[in-house]
């Protein structure tokens, strides 16, 4: 049986890393950014969502959405080189804050020891997402079954990314679980594609009666039992 995972918000604490990394970046450029700390946090979050959605819709390349974020943040028409340089500085701060959730290692180790095959289905750039897994020390758990939207041609919640990942991994979709932190994109999206979707509701939001819900990866044992 195959168990696929999302990365950001599921295995990797992206929100914390992004928030702290962005604040480190803000403090470096306080004099150039005419925002208070609170204003900056809101603007950064909005720009991140706005341009990443454009990337997922194929309106921008991965690199272009990064450049647009920098241009709008600084309200300047940067050359590509300057925009790339600015974003690289943010990435340095962001990567310094990378960390997995406390329940990840025990969960992955248990599943591997129990004979399950593990994989990844993620929205985003394959190189960056794979680098996260390497840096966080968990890539070895996933048997080379790492599928990112940048190379699959489709983004979650589109059924085709789930179907293609199952096919490439050599498993029947009805025998696959998918675990992710986003109710609509991960749990419901994978269920509509024919997998067994599990919503990792870490923030204890209102639950959905039609979706298998857990609040920590430690509860996977109960679901599989």
Q: Name the one residue in this structure whose structure tokens are 């974020």.
A: 69
pLDDT in tens, 133-183: 999 999 999 988 999 999 999 999 999 999 999 999 999 999 999 999 999
Average pLDDT on 106-128 reads 96
Q: What is the largest CA-CA distance in the chain?
A: 56
* 3-state secondary structure at position 147: strand
Is a pLDDT exceeding 80 seen at residue 24? yes
Buried b (16+ CB within 10 A) or exposed e, 163-173: ebbbeebebeb
Average pLDDT on 76-85 reads 97
The angle subtended at Cα 82 by Cα 77 and Cα 84, nearest 5°, is: 110
Please, what sign has the CA dihedral across residues 53, 202, 2, 224?
negative
Please, what sign has the CA dihedral across residues 159, 13, 217, 50?
negative
Question: What's the pLDDT band for 203 if we cut at 50, 70, 90?
Answer: confident
* 3-state secondary structure at position 197: strand
Q: Which of 23, 61, 56 is nearest to 42 (CA)?
A: 23
How much is the pLDDT for 187?
A: 96
199 token code pair: 């919503």
CA of 220: how far to CAs of 86, 104, 185, 225, in Å? 41, 11, 20, 8
Q: How large a percentage of the chain has pLDDT more than 90? A: 94
Is a pLDDT exceeding 90 seen at residue 206? no
Q: Are 68 and 61 in contact (CB under 8 A)?
A: no
Is a pLDDT exceeding 90 seen at residue 99? yes
Q: Which of 199, 146, 188, 193 is nearest to 172 (CA)?
A: 193
Is a pLDDT exceeding 90 seen at residue 204? no
Is a pLDDT exceeding 90 seen at residue 225? no
Question: What's the pLDDT band for 29 if we cut at 50, 70, 90?
Answer: very high
Q: Which of 128, 180, 170 is nearest to 149 (CA)?
A: 128
Average pLDDT score, the chain: 95
Is a pLDDT exceeding 90 seen at residue 30? yes
How much is the pLDDT for 143?
A: 83
Is a pLDDT exceeding 80 seen at residue 208? no
């Amino acid at each position: 049986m195959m168990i696929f995972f999302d990365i950001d918000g599921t295995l990797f604490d992206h929100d914390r890393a992004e928030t702290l990394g962005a604040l480190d970046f803000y403090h470096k450029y306080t004099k150039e950014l005419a925002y208070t700390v609170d204003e900056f946090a809101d603007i950064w979050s909005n720009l991140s969502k706005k341009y990443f959605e454009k990337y997922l819709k194929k309106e921008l390349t991965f690199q272009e959405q990064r450049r647009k974020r920098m241009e709008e943040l600084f309200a300047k028409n940067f050359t590509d080189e300057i925009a790339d340089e600015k974003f690289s500085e943010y990435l340095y701060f962001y990567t310094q804050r990378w960390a997995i959730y406390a329940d990840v290692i025990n969960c992955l180790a248990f599943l591997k020891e129990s004979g399950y095959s593990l994989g990844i289905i993620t929205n985003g750039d394959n190189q960056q997402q794979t680098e996260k897994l390497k840096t966080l020390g968990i890539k070895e758990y996933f048997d080379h079954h790492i599928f990112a939207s940048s190379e699959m041609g489709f983004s979650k919640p589109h059924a085709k990314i789930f179907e293609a990942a199952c096919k490439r991994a050599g498993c029947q979709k009805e025998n696959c679980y998918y675990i992710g932190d986003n109710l609509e994109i991960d749990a419901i999206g994978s269920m509509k594609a024919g997998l067994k979707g599990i919503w990792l509701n870490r923030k204890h939001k209102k639950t959905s009666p039609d979706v298998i819900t857990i609040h920590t990866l430690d509860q996977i044992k109960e679901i599989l039992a």
